Amino acid sequence: MASEETPLARAKAIALRQLATRMRTEAQLRARLAKDDLDGEADAVMAWLRGLGYLDDAAYARARARGLVSRGAGPRLAERRLVAEGIGPAAARDAIAAAMTGDGETDRRAAELELCRALAARRSRGVALEDLDDRGRRRLARFLLGRGFAGSVVSAVLGVYTDG
C-alpha cells in the first residue's frame, strides 16, 4: 500500500523544484502552487522557505535588477519587469537604483545618463551620436525610450537639449 503524499508535502516539493532551477519571487511560487490547487498551503510553504533562507524577494530584486541593467534595460523597463515578477514598486525602484549606481557615489540621474549613453553608442554602430542624421536620431530615440529611459535623458544623450 503506497502512502499518499499530503498536500503540504506536495506543495513543498513543487516549490523546491521551482527554486532548484533559478531564484523565484514569492508571487511566482504562489502562482505555481495555485496552478496545482495548492494555494491553501502557500502561506505555510512560504514561511518554511523563508526560514530555510531559500526565499528572499529583496535579494531576487537586487540580482534581477543587476542583470536587467547590465543588459541595457533602462530604469523604467527594469521596474516594470520586476513589478510583473511580483516585486513591489518601491522595492523595485530601490533595487534598480542600487544596480545603476553600483558604488553608491554616483547619483541615479548621472548613472542613467551614463547607461543610456553607452547603449546609444553601441546601438549607433560606430557612428558618433552627433553625426547621426534626423532619421537615425529619431530611430535611436524610439529605441532608447522603448528600453525604459526617461525622455529627458534620451534628449540629453542625443544632444536635443541638456538639462542643467
Query: Is residue 130 domain-resident?
Result: yes
Query: Is residue 93 domain-resident?
Result: yes
Query: Is residue 124 domain-resident?
Result: yes
User: What's the confidence (pLDDT) of residue 55?
Assistant: 95
Query: Is residue 164 domain-resident?
Result: no
* Domain enclosing residue 71, as ranges: 58-101
User: What's the confidence (pLDDT) of residue 125?
Assistant: 84
User: What's the confidence (pLDDT) of residue 2?
Assistant: 44
Extract the runs of DSSP E, i.e. beta strands, from the chain: none
Radius of gyration for the alpha carbons in the chain, expressed in angstroms and rounded? 21
Burial 93-127, CB ≥16 within 10 A → b, else e: bbbbbbbbeeeeeeeeeebbbebbbebbeeebeee
Query: Is residue 25 domain-resident?
Result: yes
* Amino acid in position 18: Q
Task: Single out the residue of 88, 89, 99, 93 nearest to residue 65, CA to CA.
Answer: 99
User: What's the confidence (pLDDT) of residue 95?
Assistant: 95
- What is the residue-level pLDDT of the chain in tens, covering all 164 positions? 345 689 999 999 999 999 999 999 999 999 999 999 999 999 999 999 999 999 999 999 999 999 999 999 999 999 999 999 999 999 999 999 999 987 566 788 899 999 999 999 999 887 888 888 889 899 999 999 999 999 999 999 998 755 55
**Pairwise CA distance, residues 53 & 131, whole Å:** 52
* Total domain count, the chain: 3
Q: Are 35 and 109 in contact (CB under 8 A)?
A: no
Q: Taking the CA of residue 48 as centre, how many other CA atoms within 13 Å lie in the half-sphere pointing to its CB?
A: 13
User: What's the confidence (pLDDT) of residue 129?
Assistant: 81
Query: Is residue 74 domain-resident?
Result: yes
